[in-house]
Amino acid sequence: MLGRRSAAWSGRGRDVRADLAILRLAGESLTGGARERRARDELGLTPVAQYQQLNALLDRPKALAADSLLVNRLRRWRSGRVPAEARGGHARDGWTVGAGGLG
């Protein structure tokens, strides 16, 4: 999986494998602090650094080219346009209010 996706990246000055690992980790269904532990253990990143790098990656066209479904899902999540039941919350119309306002 990593080899296929790395073909979409040709950036210089960044560690492509680390970027892809951050995306892959964000796409896994982990709970109870497991994602943060894995980011620290496998990538050597604090939770804050991992989320900062992920946030920056979501705005890069090459990340979209590498895994468009995941990047678009994470962009929707970031903007707050995710159904309430997916976030574990409740809202009158089924949508939550997030950083991006009403979805």
**Per-residue pLDDT for the chain (103 aa), expressed as one digit of tens each?**
444 444 444 444 457 888 999 999 999 988 878 989 999 999 999 989 999 999 999 999 999 999 999 999 999 988 887 666 565 655 444 444 444 444 3
Q: What was the pLDDT predicted at 71?
A: 95
What does the angle CA 22 – CA 26 – CA 32 come to, to the nearest 5 degrees? 120
Burial classification of residue 45, based on how many CB atoms lie within 10 Å of its CB (0-12 exposed, 13-18 middle, 19 or more buried): buried
What tokens appear for 63 in the block?
A: 């990340």
Supply the pLDDT for residue 15: 79
d(CA 43, CA 37): 10
